[in-house]
């Protein structure tokens, strides 16, 4: 069994470490940075202000210098592909260094496909095509590509190394700050909000030479795991998964080489699964979340989504690392971090010695009802079950021991004292406080993002309708009050006592310890699950996910990593599976994903057909309500209510 022993030290925030004065026109929520919180570099104002985080735009650590050309394939060994956009990042890196393709040519190829197949920008609804990018920085991308080509040419002459991502075009989720560009988190209510500075992850990608194409669309306020704004990469009539909708669609649809997604509870994994991408949701603390418009600090995570496991591993290895000034939670990660593998292991049985467990209490939600007492496999649709059974045989052929084991029953209070618990620890301002709420709401108060949104609403920049939308999203309607308000949110979030918060944190740690023991007692290195168990639904009408993991947010509650990768296709849509391991086990589960794809490349190499533009233009959806009502929610507290309702 692997050596990843989790002591349950995840997620507890420390005391506030300083403050930043907030003005009405240039707001950041870096005031009151907490150990599990975020020092945001996203302004809520009308102009670009000076960078205000003391650690600089990229944090105190610029990420790892991955410039080892030995990891790249020989140009003569790269299979010839019909389009330049079909090459994987590792292949493109070799071609760029050899001068066989330029970054400008590559960037123009992606921009051309965006022009043809993305549809109108700033559309918060069905634009008739992929709608993966909400906006593109064409001039900035081409300028960066030209600069990349100059450096590549110079290094070809000098022999100097360059980071492997140099000249590679990528997209960034709309909730992540790109200096000087809008950051709207999936809602036109945030129109006028510009990023003060690059998020730490964006700064590290820039330092590695990445060409930033623009912002990918996400669910409104990053709040839905199904999504309807973007169209699925394989058929635009179907849901793309959320909330990182565009980040899941764009790499598979060949609109970008890769993207960065953000997850609170499923938002990297679900889009990766729905589109057949290779995504990595890292552990809490592996990657800095500084510069993100938060949904739930202590759950929020950033990670890569691309077409191949190797490509996502390379991006993860580039962006991970300490960011002590801007995100102290990164100090909880091992330093140096275990090396992220970039190549498959040799031999016919690379998974020899690994035990992969399929948890039998990982209950599935089927048609809105949680099937407690029913093995997850028995709920899968025919195509998904066939792909899952084939996968287990493939893993065994690679040397892995694949077993069924009990796992942890989240409906048993003795096993799960934290997430979706019906127990009330206290009543604050007329509202009950569950164990999870004690943690989540305290973290939200400490980060003070709602206060920054309140100042943005008072700035005169958003319309009255936008103010109402933002107040409804980030405020709270207290019992007996006629409407939501930011003051109501402050009273509740800030009124949770230290003792109640501590009890919530202890329960979270007990849940982590229980999961750790469940794996250890059965000799399991990491778990195998299917987050989506049947063919996904269409964007209009019906459930987006007819069958899905009921406790899809648990990996985030634990702070544990997960990877998603395609294992087949059913009814023309992707079927995907996930490896899920202990905290900071990224190297193990990523290596297993790389080994699998090296031996069974047909799934991640598949390309979807290009969509056909609609015969008549669809109405512009900028003015449409920016909420998606086909759930489930990415918000852990709303998700708790949904779980309790589904258990009734």
Please tell me which residue in 175, 243, 564, 633 is annotated as part of the active site. 243
Element of type H or E holding 427: strand 426-428
* DSSP-assigned letters across all residues of 36-105: TS----B--SSSPPPP--TT-TT-S--------GGGSPPGGGSPP-SSGGGS-HHHHHHHHHHTSS-HHH
Q: How many residues are listed for the chain in this entry?
A: 648
* DSSP-assigned letters across all residues of 352-374: TT-EEEEETT-PEEETTEE-TTS
173 given a catalytic annotation: yes
Question: Cα dihedral angle (434, 436, 440, 445), rounded to 10 degrees?
Answer: 30
As beta bridge partners, residue 292 has: 176
* Tokens representing residue 180 in the block: 């000087």
Give the C-alpha separation, 154 to 585, whole Å. Answer: 38
Judged by DSSP in three states, 565 sits in strand
Q: Write the burial class of residue 381 (CB in 10 Å: 0-12 exposed, 13-18 middle, 19+ buried).
A: middle
Element of type H or E holding 133: strand 133-136
Q: ∠ at Cα 271 (267, 274), nearest 5°?
A: 140
Q: Are strands 278-281 and 211-216 parallel, antiparallel or unpaired?
A: unpaired
Please tell me which residue in 29, 102, 173, 308 is annotated as part of the active site. 173
Cβ pair 47, 182 in contact under 8 A: no
Element of type H or E holding 115: helix 103-117
What is the side-by-side order of every strand in the sheet holding 133-136?
Answer: 133-136, 211-216, 169-173, 258-263, 301-306, 278-281, 562-570, 573-580, 526-529, 355-359, 401-405
Give the C-alpha separation, 2 to 8, whole Å. Answer: 17
Contacts of 205 (CB under 8 A, 6+ apart): 165, 170, 212, 260, 315, 318, 319
Please tell me which residue in 267, 272, 296, 576 is annotated as part of the active site. 267
Contacts of 413 (CB under 8 A, 6+ apart): 421, 423
Cβ pair 318, 339 in contact under 8 A: no
Please give the positions annotated as active site: 173, 243, 267
């Amino acid at each position: 069994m692997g050596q990843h022993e989790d002591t349950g030290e995840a997620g507890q925030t420390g005391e506030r470490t300083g403050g930043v004065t907030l003005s009405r026109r240039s707001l950041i929520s870096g005031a009151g940075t907490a150990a599990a919180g975020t020092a945001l570099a996203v302004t809520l104002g009308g102009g670009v202000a000076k960078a205000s985080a003391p650690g600089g735009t990229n944090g105190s650590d610029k990420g790892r210098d991955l410039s080892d050309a030995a990891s790249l394939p020989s140009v003569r060994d790269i299979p010839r592909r019909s389009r330049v956009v079909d090459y994987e990042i590792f292949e493109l890196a070799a071609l760029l260094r050899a001068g066989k393709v330029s970054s400008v040519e590559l960037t123009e190829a992606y921009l051309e496909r965006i022009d043809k197949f993305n549809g109108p920008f700033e559309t918060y609804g069905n634009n008739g095509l992929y709608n993966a990018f909400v906006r593109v920085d064409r001039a900035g991308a081409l300028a960066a590509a030209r600069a990349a080509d100059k450096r590549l040419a110079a290094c070809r002459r000098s022999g100097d190394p360059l980071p492997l991502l140099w000249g590679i075009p990528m997209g960034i989720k709309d909730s992540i700050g790109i200096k000087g560009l809008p950051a709207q988190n999936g809602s036109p209510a945030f129109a006028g909000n510009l990023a003060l500075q690059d998020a730490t992850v964006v700064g590290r990608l820039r330092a590695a030479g990445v060409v930033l194409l623009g912002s990918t669309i996400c669910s409104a306020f990053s709040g839905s795991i199904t999504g309807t704004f973007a169209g699925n990469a394989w058929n635009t009539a179907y849901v793309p998964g959320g909330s990182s909708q565009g980040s899941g669609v764009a790499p598979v649809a060949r609109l970008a080489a890769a993207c960065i997604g953000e997850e609170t509870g499923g938002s990297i994994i679900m889009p990766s699964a729905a589109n057949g991408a290779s995504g990595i949701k890292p552990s809490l603390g592996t990657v800095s979340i500084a510069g993100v418009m938060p949904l739930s600090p202590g759950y929020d995570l950033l990670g890569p989504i691309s077409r191949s496991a190797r490509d996502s591993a390379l991006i993860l290895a580039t962006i991970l690392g300490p960011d002590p000034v801007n995100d102290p939670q990164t100090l909880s990660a091992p330093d140096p971090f275990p090396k992220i593998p970039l190549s498959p292991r040799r031999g016919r049985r690379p998974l020899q010695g690994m035990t992969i467990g399929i948890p039998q209490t990982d209950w599935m939600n089927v048609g809105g009802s949680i099937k407690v007492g029913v093995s997850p496999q028995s709920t899968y649709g025919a195509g998904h079950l066939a792909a899952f059974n084939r996968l287990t045989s493939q893993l065994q052929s690679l040397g892995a021991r694949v077993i069924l084991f009990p796992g942890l029953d989240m409906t048993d209070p003795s096993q799960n004292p934290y997430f979706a618990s019906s127990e009330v620890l206290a009543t604050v301002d007329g509202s009950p406080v569950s164990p999870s709420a004690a943690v989540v709401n305290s973290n939200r108060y400490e980060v003070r993002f709602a206060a920054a949104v309140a100042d943005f609403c008072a700035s005169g920049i958003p319309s009255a309708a936008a103010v109402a939308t933002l107040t409804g999203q980030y405020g709270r309607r207290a019992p007996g009050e006629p409407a939501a308000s930011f003051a109501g949110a402050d009273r509740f979030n800030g009124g949770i006592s230290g003792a109640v918060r501590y009890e919530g944190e202890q329960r979270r740690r007990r849940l982590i310890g229980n999961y750790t023991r469940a794996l250890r007692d059965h000799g399991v290195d990491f778990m195998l699950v299917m987050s989506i168990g049947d063919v996904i639904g269409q964007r209009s009408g019906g459930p987006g996910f007819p069958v899905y993991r009921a406790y899809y947010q648990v990996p985030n509650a634990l702070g544990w990593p997960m990877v998603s990768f395609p294992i087949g296709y059913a009814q023309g849509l992707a079927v995907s599976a996930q490896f899920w391991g202990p905290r900071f086990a990224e190297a193990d589960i990523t290596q297993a994903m790389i080994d699998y794809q090296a031996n069974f490349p047909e799934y991640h190499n598949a390309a979807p057909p290009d969509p056909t533009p609609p015969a008549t233009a669809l109405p512009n959806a900028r003015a449409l309500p920016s909420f998606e009502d086909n759930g489930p929610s990415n918000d852990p507290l709303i998700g708790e209510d949904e779980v309790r309702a589904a258990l009734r």
